Amino acid sequence: MNGAPRFFVLGAGRSGTSILQSLLSMHARLVVSHELRVLELAVLTGALFDNAGEPNIDERAPRTPAGLALGVRFVELLGEEQLRAADKPEGVYSDKYPPYCEQLAHLDRLWPQAKFVHILRDGRDVVASAIQAFITDRGWRRQAETPTVEQLATHWARQVRAARAYAARLPRERYLEISYEELTRDAANVLDIVLRFVGLEPDASHTAMAKRMRPGKTWRDTASHLELVQFESVADASALNRELGYPPTPLRPSDPGADATQSSWSATLTSPAQWADAGLAARARGDEKRAAFCFTRAIRGKSKDPRGAVALLEQSASGEALFAAMNARGWSDEHSRAALAAWLQARGLDAATARSVMGFHAEHKR
Amino acid sequence: MTRAILIGGPPNPNLHLLEGQLARCEGVRAVRFHVSALLERLREATQFRASVWQGVHAKASQWVDPAVRRLAPELAAALASGADVLVNAHVDNARHVELLADALPEAHFVFVAHAGRDDARAEHVGAIPATWTPFVEPWLRARDALGERGTTVQDEQLARDPSGTLAALCSSLGLRAAAEWVGPRPIEAAPSQRTLEALSASVAARRALEALGYPALDVSSALARDPALATLHARSLVDAGELERAAPLLERLARAPTPAIHTALALLRRRQGRHDEAVLGFLRAIQADANHVEAWTHLFAMTERDELRAVADFARQHPNVKVRSALARWLVARGLDAEAAEIVASVEHQGWQTR
């Protein structure tokens, strides 16, 4: 059994690395771990070894060959044990992690035989998906202060360019680029290409799942006009998108395809108050989907309109409501606290406790 | 395969002196290294990374621990650098003896016992047992299972007769003994009366002292004159479940209460089933010191009590994450879903679900 990673799956965050990892893991001889970050683990092992096991390590200190060798060995053992746990003892181990894009040189140094599979996606979709993930994702990603579009676009371009820059030094048999759009359009074919690239024969187990893949939503449905303008304002991101062959953004009513995009109705919306008004109008029309989109934009930036949070909290079960709660929990105004108390009650807490925890205890006593 | 000899025990400079003497034996290499910290850190770091993996093969316990265990002998070999025997001294070799014995099934453990040493880190008498007991109790739990793989050396014997003790130890370890102890002699440092009283006053520490063959002090008169020592004793009685002995002592101490006394008394009342008084006790501890985290966590563990609503908003805004974590657990126990609880208590991305 050899648990050393045979290849790494990489791609800027929200480019489809998780879907690719899930599909590949269905192969009878393949385990692709989800962001185990084996490079970090190898370096951590080396750092601890070099620092006599003490955890107060100096991140910048160079690692000794003996320490790194132990780190590489630890990753190999982790790979072997995962293959064993997955009942694929003679299989192949890999790890996917988006930031590997900027770590190819280090991966190449520690695993000089490893291959790299880089998944690319339209930058506008990456940014729109990231915004949605920061708002609604369960677990660690959700946060009250989401990054700006410009930050996300810059990050995307930097990751993609870093991977491609190092890949230019690698032989062709060690680096493969695939596209997210192609993966969702014809998953079986793309997976065949990837599996053969890493030295495995395609099998039936993942083909059935691949056939069920459907193209997902694009930035045309999930980004506002303002967000698209902000993306295009990042020159490097805009240029990279063109280099990758993606069509330009229709930002004016006369642009081809403009009517089909979200930007056509959101072109005049910029301030939190405007977004909150648009959300209330959409809700009045019964368009809850658009209302939620508008309300999240009303509280996503540095300045926020509390009406957005209060409205989202009414949709108690949604991911957007959790995002609203994260924003509103620090507000002291009575209206927001009452909305939070009602939201807590809708999510299972008794009324008296819900109101008490939001500071309405004194009122209760009266 | 490299053979490891791991020396441990409560904090004591003689651990390293002994390590140095064993390293003089043929084929032995001494390495200053925190073995258990490396293994624990790697296990923790890997499990943390694996915890975000929701895939079908994500059962980390099935593969993280085996990988860490398999790494341990290779770590020992790397540290030995070709020597047949690796000797390593660290206080945590005793504290984590169970982990190490599992990871290094061929290793031999040497426990250097002493009846407490003064530790400058123990600023108040209540903290003294914590500088000694955590290093002794794991050894006492493990020593039967270790059998011939474990040896206890009395620190006092080592100081009195270093060469004789070394020779006997080398013989039991199968090492060709160095002729005699060379260099700085082991340091004999009898603990102060204060340290001995603190260890003797703590039920758990007293049991450990006796299990190691050391006589504990009669602290009855010290308990009468020293409220801090009496508080330590009373709390240890509660923790040990000796409620009838704890009750009169705590009731007497409660005439001049501190947050620690309020908390100990509240814990006693809770164990006695007198929950109204327990809640009141924890609330008094918090009133006396809003940062008395232990009172908060025990209070919010009383999930059925409605009085806790009175302090819920205060806890929600408390700067200490442990207090907010206790609140989140209480909210979940009262019916709120975990996602909402961690958001309202501001403990997302924290390990709040376990104490």
Considering CB atoms only, which of B55, B71, B75 is closest to A25? B55
Indicate yes or no: CB of B309 within 8 angstroms of CB of A353: yes
Which residue of A37, A53, A344 is in closest CB contact with B34?
A: A53
pLDDT value at residue A140: 56
Chain A residues touching residue B63 (CB < 8 angstroms)? 78, 81-82, 84-85
* DSSP three-state, residue A83: helix
Contact B197, B219 (CB under 8 A): yes
What is the mean pLDDT of the segment spanning B139-153? Answer: 96
Rounded-to-integer distance, Cα B2 and Cα A10, Å: 39
Give CA–CA dist A94/A157, Å, rounded.
Answer: 25
Q: Residue B88: inside a domain, yes or no?
A: yes
- The chain A residue lying nearest B35, using CA atoms, is A53
Q: Chain-centre distance of CA B312, in angstroms?
A: 31
Q: Is residue B138 part of a domain?
A: yes
Strand, coil or helix: B89: strand
Q: What is the pLDDT of residue B56?
A: 43
Q: Is the per-residue pLDDT at A208 higher than 80? A: no
- Residues 7-26 on A with a CB inside 8 Å of B are 22, 25
What total number of domains does chain B contain? Answer: 1
Minimum mean pLDDT range among A299-313, B164-178, B204-218: B164-178
Q: Which residue of A has its CA nearest to B66?
A: A81
CATH of the domain at B129: 3.40.50.300
Over residues B266-305, the pLDDT tens digits come to 999 999 999 999 999 999 999 999 999 999 999 999 999 9
- Asked if A357's CB is within 8 angstroms of B313's CB, the reply is yes
Q: Which of A68-72, A90-94, A319-323, B90-94 has the lowest mean pLDDT?
A: A319-323
In DSSP notation, B10-50 reads SS-THHHHHHHHHTTSTTEEE----HHHHHHHHHHHHHHHH
With beta carbons under 8 A apart, name residues in chain B contacting A31: 57
pLDDT of residue A366: 38
What pLDDT is attached to residue A207?
Answer: 76
Q: Is the pLDDT of residue A92 over 90?
A: yes
Question: Above 60 in pLDDT, residue B131?
Answer: yes
At A234-261, the pLDDT tens digits run 999 999 999 999 998 887 777 777 776 6
Domain boundaries, chain A: 7-120+159-211, 269-361
Share of chain A above pLDDT 70, in %: 96
Helices (H), A198-271: 204-211, 219-222, 225-233, 235-243, 263-266
Radius of gyration over every alpha carbon of chain B, rounded to an integer in angstroms: 24
pLDDT tens column, B104-125: 999 999 999 999 888 777 778 8
* B324 contacts B352 by C-beta, under 8 angstroms: yes
Q: pLDDT tens-digit profile of B154-165? A: 999 999 999 999
Return the residue in B54, B64, B344 with the most chain A beta carbons within 10 A, the one to mutate for interface testing: B344
Q: What is the mean pLDDT of chain A?
A: 91
Helices A123-136, A319-328: axis angle to 10 degrees equals 70
Stretch B335-348: mean pLDDT: 94
What is the residue-averaged pLDDT of chain B?
A: 93
B44-92: pLDDT as tens digits? 999 888 876 555 455 777 899 999 999 999 999 999 999 999 999 999 9
Q: What ipTM was estimated for this complex?
A: 0.89
Average pLDDT over residues B199-219: 96
Measured between CA atoms, how close is B32 to chain A, in angstroms?
7
CATH assignment of A7-120+159-211? Answer: 3.40.50.300
C-alpha neighbours within 13 Å on the C-beta side of residue A117: 31
Q: Is the per-residue pLDDT at A213 higher than 90?
A: no
Q: Above pLDDT 70, what percent of chain B?
A: 97
* Residues B42, A74: C-beta atoms closer than 8 Å: yes
Domain housing B93: 3-173
pLDDT at A365: 45
Measured between beta carbons, the chain B residues lying within 8 angstroms of A43 are none
Chain B nearest-CA distance from A276, in A, is 23
In a domain? residue B155: yes
